[in-house]
Amino acid sequence: MSRLAKKPLVVPAKVEVSASGNTISVKGPKAALTRDVHSFITVSVTPEGVVVAPKNNTRLAKALSGTIVSHLKNMMAGVVTPFTRKLILEGVGYRVELKGKDLSFLVGFSHPVLLPIPEGITATVEKNTITLEGSDKDVIGQFAANIRRVKPPEPYLGKGIRYEGEAIRRKEGKKAV
């Protein structure tokens, strides 16, 4: 069994956790999140905290118990303070614009690339920096990965979309004779 699931999770102040059937819901001052739980896992809310336990002794149930604990920790942290993720756009002529509920990228293709912003995420654009903010860590991370996939950074000039703080391994170009 996962070491994370052996102790009950302490619920922070201003956060309410409720479990009914295969659904967990977490409410806080900033947001409310819900998540479905696999049928091999039981989640119960006690005065000591939230207890996650596998229903049977299979390898999958043991692995999922630790995963659910990590998701619960992220949910409890996200409803109090939102998660943020920053992406940087590098390249001559590369631009990004916020058009309603879509991000429009001009990154060297013959057409602009439109990405709809998922519900629960706020996106802000300043020059070449995209800032994503939201309470669900999974949705923020997946949307940031989808943005990066539009034009990943290339190793010769470093052009493309990268995460803030991401180190790009640069390759040496052709040498002049």
- One DSSP character per residue, 125-144 reads EETTEEEEEES-HHHHHHHH
68-96: average pLDDT: 94
Task: Please write the tens of the pLDDT for every residue from 5-25.
Answer: 788 999 998 999 999 988 999
- Residue 48 backbone dihedrals phi, psi, to 5 degrees: -75, -25
Domains 4-78 and 83-163 are alike in CATH topology: yes
**Residue spans per domain, the chain:** 4-78, 83-163
The model's pTM: 0.89
121-137: average pLDDT: 95
User: What mean pLDDT, rounded, does the chain reach?
Assistant: 92
CATH number, domain 83-163? 3.90.930.12
Class of domain 4-78: alpha beta
DSSP H helices, 12-125, are: 59-78
86-102: average pLDDT: 94
